Structure 1
């Protein structure tokens, strides 16, 4: 009799998870997960309302996660996996309190209010510090928590429908600085004015630029060599010689900011692990010290060596990706162009003055 009953048992188990069909990667994981020892119990024992909610979530291409019960047992669809990041392997069925432990003080009260009152929430571009990439990360999300009814009519859990706004919010912030810097630089005629504008504008975005330094190369008459001279810094930069030396001799290959390498190679360089180099950079708005800086040469058209370089302290809560590098390169490019125009203006002024003396 057991041999006859076994195929029927297999068919019953298969039918019990048919509602997970077309559920993508997460649907397959729910099928494969051993629920027998989980507080929710086996799939066939789940409330019909939970099955329907999970089915809706899994088959949507919009990023969603679902928390069920008082512990908010966690489910999500494939579209939400990038938000989970490195936690992907263990989040299924875990308490959302554990999954999002780092932001539960922010989102927990919202989730609990939804379950307690049955009323939905709404947040737009909310700043959340996620730990999904191996470090604390600045992220922004627009989302709604909605109640999910249990089979008895009470609220059994909540569904989150979310759009991540991180790239948009940060992109708009960076574009605003680029736009305002470009506008102000059009009003400059001298190197001093360029430096004043650069200092003011670079100070306006301490989220992306916790500190910034601008150095220009010049001949050193005493040594018959070259040196980099600090011409301006953002207001957030502590002006002590450990982080902002007024002069860097090119002969000093051990200098914190690699003036010699920039002069020779005219390529962007990353200075990592500032703390290990006994530098105490400013905390910035994040209350975390900057760990590294990007040094960008101010390339001169038709010249072998750059005019100088920009040192940009990096946001400790964002990765130095292509977008971040591109942003800082554009800043350096705008300053370079303004310096070139200022030098051309000064050369023309001198030429006119010389002609007037004839």
Structure 2
């Protein structure tokens, strides 16, 4: 990007690119002569007015002008541009966002510019490449025609709001509600894990593995899974829980899930090299492999021991931020609660069975005692009857 302040009249640029914000400062120093728009003084008055309007607005707004959709945007839209900022300024929209510029999107833009009819969409899913990876994102936007002095539509006036956080938060909240319902009737640890696995959303949890820890704490057994095949290197039926201090082979540390570390610390463990460990793994609905996974401990009702270890894949198209981590911890807590309830149910069932056994034993004992008392009395009564004759 070439900055040449001397090309433009200071008074003119300050009148158009108003304010002391980042975008106003950037546009004042931009070499607009190198774009299809040419020198600023030759711009139509309508474009100058639109640019000055969006720069003072606190709502995310942009202008895409001309047949190549040259971009202007304000400070409020910088977070949406992400890594594309500031290079997108003055550049054609299709060149900045090639992953967005498909037939449908280009037809929509052409429709607004050619027909003069606005286009509005809410929570539109969009795959964008802002931070070095193809990202699942959602936007609500209105594209209106931007007209010149003759009333002819020359471009697009865009008002854009990113709703990614709201859409994904609602999706996760829905899943947590469904999870709570699904596991509420579980009577055993395994049934709780199976019910939980069936409700996990693949957009946020591409795969999941539930490992039950044995009473000795030295072996984990796979009791439920989702999103992985049984022949995958990532789904062993059992995993020996060997403490790291007992493992001297460094190559051993680079393989497997290292569940023993989570068992010992009782803290979640992020694994960022799952592809190196196991090869490509499912990415949920996306073609890319999950690159990371989180191992979460599921504790007993009294919090004294680890009942289960939950391994969840992380979406390759979402940032693993604190909100994502908190969501996964809530999933583990929900399963933990259901297992504790199942344990209570199991203990109550065992108590009921024990009481029934005790009651049966008492009945049998007194029945036998009664029989033993009746037998000698019968003999005595019989003998007495004989003597009386």
Q: Does the pair score TM above 0.5?
A: yes
Match of 1:327 in 2: 327
Partner SS, residue 286 of structure 1: coil
Match of 2:194 in 1: 196
Structure 2 distance, partners of 1:336, 1:138, is 30
Q: 1:46 aligns with which of 43, 48, 67?
A: 43
- Structure of larger gyration radius: 2
1:243 matched to 2:234: yes
In the alignment, is the contact (CA less than 8 A) between 2:208 and 2:311 conserved in 1? yes
TM-fit CA distance, 1:150: 1.8
In the alignment, is the contact (CA less than 8 A) between 1:238 and 1:281 conserved in 2? no
Structure 1 distance, partners of 2:69, 2:130, is 19
TM-fit CA distance, 1:282: 2.0
Kindly tell me: are residues 272 and 16 of structure 1, through their superposed partners in 2, closer, same or farther at Cα, counting changes over 3 Å? closer
Structure 2 distance, partners of 1:193, 1:275, is 30
Structure 2 distance, partners of 1:12, 1:190, is 77
Match of 1:92 in 2: 89
TM-fit CA distance, 1:274: 2.1
Structure 2 distance, partners of 1:125, 1:313, is 25
Matches within 5 A, 1:145-164: 145-164=143-162
Match of 2:356 in 1: 356
Structure 1 distance, partners of 2:34, 2:357, is 96
- Which stretch shifts more, 11-20 or 280-289? 11-20
Match of 1:66 in 2: 63
Structure 1 distance, partners of 2:301, 2:52, is 59
Structure 1: gaps spanning 5 or more residues:
1-8
TM-score, normalised by the number of residues in structure 2:
0.83
In the alignment, is the contact (CA less than 8 A) between 1:150 and 1:156 conserved in 2? yes
1:230 matched to 2:222: yes
Partner SS, residue 229 of structure 1: strand
1:218 matched to 2:214: yes
In the alignment, is the contact (CA less than 8 A) between 2:210 and 2:222 conserved in 1? yes
Match of 1:122 in 2: 120
In the alignment, is the contact (CA less than 8 A) between 1:23 and 1:59 conserved in 2? no
1:289 matched to 2:263: no
In the alignment, is the contact (CA less than 8 A) between 1:243 and 1:280 conserved in 2? no
In the alignment, is the contact (CA less than 8 A) between 2:18 and 2:55 conserved in 1? no
Q: 1:25 aligns with which of 6, 12, 22?
A: 22
In the alignment, is the contact (CA less than 8 A) between 1:103 and 1:129 conserved in 2? yes
For residues 93-150 of structure 1, give each alpha carbon's deviation from its aligned partner in whole angstroms, at most 9, with x where no partner exists: 0111111111010422211221121211112211110111111100011111111112
Structure 2 distance, partners of 1:128, 1:11, is 37
Matches within 5 A, 1:237-276: 237-251=228-242, 254=252, 255-276=255-276
TM-fit CA distance, 1:301: 5.0
Structure 1 distance, partners of 2:8, 2:115, is 40
Paired residues, number = 343
In the alignment, is the contact (CA less than 8 A) between 1:23 and 1:58 conserved in 2? no
In the alignment, is the contact (CA less than 8 A) between 1:65 and 1:161 conserved in 2? yes
In the alignment, is the contact (CA less than 8 A) between 2:283 and 2:316 conserved in 1? no
Kindly tell me: are residues 12 and 91 of structure 1, through their superposed partners in 2, closer, same or farther at Cα, counting changes over 3 Å? closer
Partner SS, residue 295 of structure 2: strand
Partner SS, residue 299 of structure 2: coil
Structure 2: gaps spanning 5 or more residues:
1-5, 245-251, 359-389
Match of 1:277 in 2: 277
Match of 1:312 in 2: 312
Structure 1 distance, partners of 2:272, 2:7, is 57
Structure 2 distance, partners of 1:238, 1:353, is 39
Partner SS, residue 71 of structure 1: coil
Partner SS, residue 104 of structure 1: coil
Match of 2:340 in 1: 340
Structure 2 distance, partners of 1:137, 1:12, is 41
In the alignment, is the contact (CA less than 8 A) between 1:58 and 1:78 conserved in 2? yes
For residues 291-347 of structure 1, give each alpha carbon's deviation from its aligned partner in whole angstroms, at most 9, with x where no partner exists: 111111113354444212111111100011111101110000010111111112211
Structure 1 distance, partners of 2:298, 2:199, is 17
Q: Let me know the Cα RMSD of the aligned residues.
A: 2.0
